[in-house]
Amino acid sequence: MSIVVTAASGNLGRLTVEALLTRGVPASEIVATSRDISRIKDFADRGVEIRRADFAEPGSLPAAFEGVDKLLLISTTTPSERVANHRRAIDAAVVAGASLVAFTSMLHADTSTTTLSPTHWATEEYLRERLPSVMLRNGWYLENYTDQLPQILRGGTLVGAAGQGRISAATRADYADAAAVVLTTEGHDGKAYELGGDEPFTLTQLAAAISAATGKRIGYTDLPVDEFAQVLVGAGVPAELAQVLADADRAMSHDEMFTGSGDLRRLIGRPTTTPAEAIAAALR
């Protein structure tokens, strides 16, 4: 019986496989899947079984999920195909006899007004009706900001549309560690964890943290949602994704990406990585 991690070539999937290994799961008990197994060959070299799985190709899933005990279903990247893809993966997990499926949903998937939330909520509902399950409602990634540090430093400003909304962002590594915990410990069936960092921040505060870390004066420029979307398009973000990201900022301005649940800290058994630590790590 194995722990199966989907999307193992992606950022979060990769970190989750690493977290499982760090937590002492034998490599032989982990199955990592990807649409292209050449991208996860490094895991095979370390004894992890790699299998091809494409949720758009249901025929690929029985062999991919064979022998699964617990499955981590990482939400896929294409919003328009997401629900159908996730349903096919869940159907295959049912057939394979999974004892638990953990799904990487999004913060407040049940009440969120973002354009991102309906696909996550629909997946949660479909999954809950079919299998023992746990929802990992991941908040925003800190990397969404730290990856932009070169541009922010060049421009002297952090641009967004989140007003003074509080954002409980955390690193992918912390979310991945939480996933590893629910896959390796008991008592998670039926839970929906609202996962976010211990130190919520406004974008004004984040700009101040970047200033403190770099010694450069960085401000926060708050734009109307449509203008922010245009700025993102101008920076090379595809128009559809720019709308999604600007809409997420709109929701952030209403604290929709804030949580004070403490679920992430409790699951991983330590404080979450702070924004200042993530900025310092990205600058190294």
Q: Which residues bind ligand NAP (CB under 6 A)?
A: 6-7, 9-13, 34-35, 53-56, 74-77, 85, 104, 138, 140-141, 144
187, 132 Cβ separation under 8 angstroms? no
Q: How far is the CB of 232 from ligand NAP (least distance, A)?
A: 14
Q: Which is nearer to ligand NAP, 110 or 211 (CB)?
A: 110
Ordered DSSP codes for 210-224: HHHHHSS--EEEE--
**114 or 138: CB nearest ligand NAP:** 138
Identify which of residues 118 and 219 has a Cβ nearer to ligand NAP in the complex. 118
Residue 53 vs 92, nearer CB to ligand NAP: 53
Shortest Cβ 205–ligand NAP spacing (Å): 18
**Least gap, CB of 172 to ligand NAP (angstroms):** 6
List the structure tokens of 17: 């496989």
Q: At closest approach, how far in Å is the CB of 33 from ligand NAP? A: 7
Q: Which residues contact 154 (CB under 8 A, 6 or more apart)?
A: none
State which residue has the least CB distance to ligand NAP.
10
User: Which candidate, 263, 247, 243, 254, places its Cα nearest to that of 195?
Assistant: 263
The end-to-end CA distance of the chain, in Å, is 40
Give CA torsion, residues 237, 205, 259, 250, to 10 deg: -40
Q: How many CA atoms lie within 13 A of 43 on its CB side?
A: 33
Closer of 120 and 265 to ligand NAP (Cβ)? 120
CB of 252 to ligand NAP, least distance (A): 11
Retrieve residue 212's tokens.
């403190």
